[in-house]
Structures are given as structure tokens and as C-alpha cells.
């Protein structure tokens, strides 16, 4: 199948934006105007103000690059994957095919974790955080950036994902405060943590085929598949917590209907619910629990 969009060097930035928006709309992308603008800005490394002020500037040599990016989006590849970066909690993160593409809703985990630490009187102290299944490292890197007195351990079963997380930690200046470990759960990582966070895979295995193409075709299945009922990794994390010293605070991302089930799994490990946090769509997206001495 030939490319759906071919931009010419003599076309202006405004003409390119209009052409991208038109074909994105025609092909049924959900946010055609926004995607076209973000993609054009990202590929040219300019912001919105620069796009407006330089709207009559010809594409020139960038025509081929922008055309290629637009056609990748027309194949339903997410803009963040085309650009290789994603903004999260006001910071820019590297994204590769080896890691889950971070969603804005995951910021609820960061917000809830910071809220729990503040209410516990820990936010200004030296504390230790564990991030299970760190992926791109967005959770642990963001928390370390927000908590200058914290140190951390971040684990993942994928060495390739850990390399992405390590690069993000270096870019954000927190690499000297985090140890990355290729392991399942917290095996071999010690047992003393003030806070455990995770955004585990929580999609039911039989539901993955029905997900949007942007997800099922581009996110690693390992980062999506939570087993038959979507709760397998929560059970594994709950088993991990039985081996950790207390008191312990746990903040997890959950599927939109899973909060009660996840809290029930951790109740069996001695945890008590602390709080929940809603995502941008009004669904419960993060749960916080505590295990006392």
C-alpha cells in the first residue's frame, strides 16, 4: 500500500499542518488536529508559538521526515512512539518499543504516592522506594525528582526496559539515587522500603485482541497481560510484601473496575486501604494501602 501522505519541500508549515489534519481526519484518527500539531512540532523540535510564527516557512529537507512520521501515525502508531519521547508530570521521557507508552492517567499514581508520604510525615525525610515493573522508569524517576532525599530500587524482568529506565534516570539527574535490577518482583533487592509503587500489567489476556490498535500493536504484551482475570501480578506483589519489613506503604495503578479486588488481594497480606485517586476520566486509577507493624 503506497503512503497516504506525501509532503513537498516547498509546502509551508501551515500547509503541511492542514494536509496532515485533513488526512488524519479522513482516516478516522481520534484527535486529528492535535496529533498533526504535536507530531509536526515534535519532528521539527519547535513549540506551538514557533509553529505559528514560522507558519509560512517551507518544509525544505524536513518534508521527507514529516511525511514518514505522518504515515506512521496513519498506521495507528502513537505520536509518542514516532517521536520516541513522552511528556509525563511535566518532564520528558524516552519511549521505545521495549516499554509501555506512559499514559497521563498514570500521573494519579505519582500524586497519590506523594499525598501518602506527606500525610505520613515522610516526604521531607530520607526514604527508600521500590518500583516493581518499572518499564520506562516514569514512576520512580518522577518520584525521585520530586523527593530529593529519596533513594530507590527499580525492577523489571526485561533488561531492555531497564536500559530505557536507566537512560531516563540519567537524563533527569536521578541515576545516582536508583539501582536497577533485572528480576521479578523484588527478588534479591532487600526487604526495607518505606514505599512500594507499581503500574503492573492488568488487562485480561482475552481482552488484549480487542484493544485499540495504538495499544495492542505497539505496547509490549508483557506490559499489558495481567492473566486470566488481570490480577496475576497484583497477587505476586502481594506475596512480595509478606517478605518486607513494616510499616510499609503501597501505591498501585489499577484498571478502572479493579480497585476493590486489588484491595482485597492485599488485605490477605495484612494491608489496610488508605486512599484512592481518580484519573482524568473519573475512574479510580490508583489505590494506596498500608501494612502496619
- pLDDT tens per residue across span 152-205: 999 999 999 999 999 999 999 999 999 999 999 999 898 899 999 999 999 999
Task: Band the pLDDT of 245: cuts 50, 70, 90.
Answer: confident
pLDDT band at 1 (very low <50, low <70, confident <90, very high): low
* Measured distance CA(102)–CA(41) in Å, rounded: 20
pTM: 0.94
Q: Are 103 and 167 in contact (CB under 8 A)?
A: no
pLDDT higher than 80, residue 3 = no
pLDDT tens digits, 6-63: 999 999 999 999 999 999 999 999 999 999 999 999 999 999 999 999 999 999 999 9
CATH class of 86-291: alpha beta
Per-residue burial over 91-100, b = 16 or more CB atoms within 10 Å of its CB, e = otherwise: eebbbbebbb
Q: Does the pLDDT of residue 121 top 60, yes or no?
A: yes
pLDDT of 2 = 57
Residue 123 has pLDDT above 90, yes or no: no
As a whole number, the mean pLDDT across the chain is: 95
Query: pLDDT digit string (tens) for 127-167?
Result: 999 999 999 999 999 999 999 999 999 999 999 999 999 99
Domain residue limits, the chain: 13-75, 86-291
For residue 195, the model assigns a pLDDT of: 97
Amino acid at each position: 500500500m503506497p503512503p497516504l501522505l506525501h509532503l513537498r519541500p516547498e509546502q509551508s508549515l501551515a500547509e503541511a499542518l492542514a494536509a496532515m489534519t485533513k488526512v488524519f481526519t479522513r482516516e478516522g484518527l481520534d484527535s486529528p488536529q492535535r496529533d498533526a500539531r504535536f507530531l509536526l512540532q515534535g519532528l521539527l523540535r519547535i513549540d506551538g508559538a514557533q509553529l505559528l510564527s514560522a507558519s509560512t516557512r517551507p518544509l525544505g529537507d524536513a518534508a521527507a521526515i514529516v511525511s514518514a512520521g505522518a504515515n506512521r501515525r496513519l498506521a495507528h502508531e502513537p505520536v509518542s512512539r514516532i517521536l520516541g519521547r513522552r511528556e509525563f508530570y511535566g518532564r520528558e521521557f524516552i519511549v521505545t518499543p521495549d516499554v509501555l507508552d506512559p499514559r497521563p492517567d498514570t500521573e494519579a499514581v505519582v500524586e497519590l504516592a506523594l499525598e501518602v508520604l506527606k500525610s505520613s510525615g515522610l516526604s521531607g525525610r530520607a526514604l527508600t522506594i521500590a518500583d516493581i515493573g518499572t518499564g520506562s522508569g516514569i514512576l520512580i524517576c518522577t518520584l525521585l525528582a520530586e523527593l530529593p532525599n529519596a533513594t530507590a530500587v527499580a525492577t523489571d524482568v526485561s533488561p531492555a526496559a531497564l536500559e530505557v529506565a536507566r537512560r531516563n534516570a540519567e537524563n533527569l539527574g536521578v541515576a545516582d539515587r536508583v539501582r536497577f535490577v533485572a528480576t521479578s518482583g523484588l527478588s534479591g533487592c532487600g526487604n526495607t522500603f518505606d514505599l512500594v509503587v507499581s503500574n503492573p500489567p492488568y488487562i485480561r489476556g482475552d481482552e488484549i485482541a480487542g484493544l485499540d490498535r495504538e495499544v495492542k500493536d505497539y505496547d509490549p504484551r508483557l506490559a499489558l497481560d495481567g492473566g486470566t482475570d488481570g490480577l496475576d501480578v497484583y497477587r505476586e506483589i502481594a506475596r512480595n510484601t509478606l517478605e518486607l519489613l513494616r510499616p510499609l506503604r503501597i501505591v498501585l495503578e489499577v484498571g478502572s473496575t479493579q480497585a476493590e479486588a486489588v484491595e482485597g488481594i492485599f488485605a490477605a497480606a495484612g494491608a489496610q486501604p488508605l486512599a484512592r485517586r481518580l484519573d482524568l476520566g473519573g475512574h479510580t486509577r490508583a489505590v494506596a494501602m498500608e501494612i502496619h507493624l
